[in-house]
Copies of this chain bind each other. A is one copy, B any other.
């Protein structure tokens, strides 16, 4: 990260989200959900829909999500109030006063390049520009900008308006001041942001989950246990502490005295396979898309697929609220 090219004028106070206009380019599923998150945070949102189909479908999708937020008691005002602070357009000039613009278009470097040029042609020199990519390195995309130091990556978790996860990723040329500003702003979005020092394409937790998949593949293939058992054990064991503690705090809580021995014993026995589990090839062969086409690792009826969508939305609301009750200073002595 270079420390040059600092903004001429100081970046704005992040606590006044009502005075900070933000932009979102790309209104697919993720883009829409992020728009809702930014509206809830109090921003005026300028959305650019480069695809005509998104201009048609996005307004209803966003209204539906706002209605869901209302049902879940996440709003401080009417859905109309929030919706009135959103402009959807195909004209990039709408972004001219935005202090933050997020690109959420498809994973195609050429298209993204055009988008960045369109954004930079209208915004101020110190507007923070970010990408939602999980496929292309930030340092690569950064090359497409005239002012690359204000460019960075932001990973969200779905649904963006009811999850606290947010990952900020700097590229090689990102100036710290912009990441700091976004890190601060993200707290106004009620996120618990993390800040990755190295340019990382994968969401860190995705990577950790693949370490789990690798180990489970070994356990399942040698007949030690089943997919169902692993899901049950993770739900009721890991689930009973992970939202409160993460894994390192958990280790402190369980006591550290035997950990050295346990690491020494278990590490050499963990799976190192590069072989993809057979079941994944099978899923591709049958064109399984999980709950989305009622064909997956588990069996689904169409009715059950719909129920899983609802269950996830509800669970997200519940765990989002539950997490809010557990900063340590809220626990009474």
Are A255 and B292 touching (Cβ within 8 A)? yes
Q: Can you report 17 A-B residue pairs in the complex whose CB atoms are below 8 A from each other?
A: A157-B236, A165-B237, A194-B232, A197-B225, A198-B224, A202-B266, A205-B233, A211-B214, A211-B215, A214-B267, A216-B247, A230-B246, A233-B246, A252-B300, A256-B297, A307-B333, A311-B326
Q: For window 218-256 of chain A, which residues contact chain B by CB distance below 8 Å?
A: 219, 222-225, 227, 229-249, 251-256
Are A328 and B307 touching (Cβ within 8 A)? yes
Contact of A241 among B222, B272, B297, B315 (CB under 8 A): B315
Residue A181 interfacial (CB < 8 Å): no
Are B253 and A290 touching (Cβ within 8 A)? yes
Are A244 and B312 touching (Cβ within 8 A)? yes
Q: Is the interface of A mostly helix, strand, loop or mixed?
A: helix
Are B240 and A320 touching (Cβ within 8 A)? yes
Among residues of B, the one whose C-beta sits closest to the C-beta of A300 is B252
Residue A11 interfacial (CB < 8 Å): no
A210-B270, A255-B289 known; 9 new pairs, CB 8 Å cut-off, are A211-B215, A231-B247, A235-B244, A244-B311, A251-B297, A252-B298, A267-B274, A307-B333, A311-B331
